Structure 1
């Protein structure tokens, strides 16, 4: 069984990423749903949003998308990146101003994307087709030697499919170095989710906690798990640790950090709950 420890650090994320990984897995939060997952052999990035593209797009609109936190690193400074996992095509998960610089700085990096969003990925990442790995829910791939990735359905806020039957929203179970991580992507609870994920016996769940509100849903802004729902999901799939994320980026669609911290100390929280923080290294090891 793997366990998660947290190590605050000073200095830049660039400096931290340059340090060698002494066994196990290191994780760093990039804000929103973005993470760097580093092992001795490779570096994976999930759903990075490291630009102001949405602030530019929605300036002057009802729900402005100004960043509440600065990007901890420039996209081109994340390297060497071996693989990027993208859960769906919403811009805070598939951002051209982030993904194109990553692709340019890492010419051998490949991008795992939902088959439902392949056309959008080709446009927004701008790489040769062989650098894109298209997947659908239920499929398992090994894009790097010793790294397994299984796509899981996600409901944001519904289990949407394309006319061809491909799922628009995905999560991923990542297996590496004897550990299993589950990044749910953007999702709410749905019937069958626990049964799909629990057989993987994940050690760590990376789950959104910004919840959902009717006024946002009516405006076309889909919601996610609430904090309570995320903790219950982590418990039911057997994860020993959970990192709460997808908060603190946009003021209209977030969760109060104090609420997350209080939940982690609550008696009804039966999983080790960690709030995603910048300048913290998360170490997953035996």
Structure 2
């Protein structure tokens, strides 16, 4: 796999009008959100394109005002085929984002943890047939072109519902000969390296905002530290890491300068990048995947 970092000027909506003929284009939407375009399909992972949390916590708890603006208005989003949500927290499964998008695009399907199926339906008001449930250890083929493998995530624990379904997931995606791993929100857990290594990912999308006793005391679960994210990718033989889940909420972030310093100090075969606005990440693989 080759990975090009292509900054662009102007709004994201304009950039999305140009689609890749081969490989995969990837754009950061802020927090843990990404848009992936294979040329044939567009999918989102964990999009948070509203201010619903700022409204929810207006008079209580830490401020959830956005540090970065919404990168694209929902009514400017081009047609979408699938949205994948890793877990039920609102910055990953946001009714104010998912509902309007699903109502705009009748073909759009949403993949969510099976443990969150009922909640997702209630939260968005969408019909059950719009959703696909997954659990860790399962593999799904979307439209005969996109392979999705679900793995466990620990945010900060490996939690299950009453039926034994995992609350927090990561997704390994295979499309156009390229494999991308989105960990969801997670910290290290026993067996994680083996599970992630089996995905044979070319690129890992990993949170780096870390965790702290103060946040835990406030009921706010944490994530990988930057060093832990790099260590996981290195241990799994993943050639590139895109660090994200920073820069949205002031109470739970990591300074961009800290990530940039780590990028500059990196040695070895794993490449570290900081997810950024106004950048297209273009991935090229050996061939289109056959499933």
Give the shorter-chain TM-score range: over 0.9
The CA distance in 2 between the partners of 1:156 and 1:178, in whole Å, is 30
Q: Residue 184 of structure 1 contacts residue 207 of structure 1 at CA under 8 Å; is this kept in 2?
A: yes
Q: TM-score, normalised by structure 1?
A: 0.97
Please name the residue that 2:65 is paired with: 66
The CA distance in 1 between the partners of 2:25 and 2:97, in whole Å, is 22
Moved more, 19-28 or 85-94: 19-28
C-alpha distance after superposition, 1:64-109 (max 9, x if no partner)? 1010000001123222100000000100000011001110111100
Aligned residues, how many? Answer: 285
Please name the residue that 2:183 is paired with: 184
Q: Residue 208 of structure 2 contacts residue 254 of structure 2 at CA under 8 Å; is this kept in 1?
A: yes
Moved more, 175-184 or 194-203: 194-203
The CA distance in 1 between the partners of 2:47 and 2:199, in whole Å, is 25
Q: Residue 208 of structure 2 contacts residue 245 of structure 2 at CA under 8 Å; is this kept in 1?
A: yes
Please name the residue that 2:221 is paired with: 222
Please name the residue that 1:207 is paired with: 206
* CA shift for structure 1 position 126: 2.4
Q: TM-score, normalised by structure 2?
A: 0.96
The CA distance in 2 between the partners of 1:251 and 1:67, in whole Å, is 8
The CA distance in 1 between the partners of 2:197 and 2:212, in whole Å, is 28
The CA distance in 1 between the partners of 2:19 and 2:78, in whole Å, is 14
Please name the residue that 1:79 is paired with: 78
The CA distance in 1 between the partners of 2:75 and 2:154, in whole Å, is 31
Q: What SS is found at the alignment partner of 2:198? A: helix
Q: What SS is found at the alignment partner of 1:232? A: helix
C-alpha distance after superposition, 1:141-184 (max 9, x if no partner)? 01222110011100000000011100000000000000100000
Please name the residue that 2:240 is paired with: 241
Residues 1:91 and 2:90 aligned together: yes
The CA distance in 2 between the partners of 1:124 and 1:231, in whole Å, is 35
1:269–1:61 CA distance, 2 compared to 1 (3 A): farther
Residues 1:134 and 2:133 aligned together: yes
The CA distance in 2 between the partners of 1:41 and 1:80, in whole Å, is 11
Q: Residue 116 of structure 1 contacts residue 166 of structure 1 at CA under 8 Å; is this kept in 2?
A: yes
User: Mind listing any 5+ residue stretches in structure 1 that lack a counterpart?
Assistant: none
Q: What SS is found at the alignment partner of 1:200? A: coil
Q: Residue 158 of structure 2 contacts residue 166 of structure 2 at CA under 8 Å; is this kept in 1?
A: yes
Q: What SS is found at the alignment partner of 2:189? A: coil
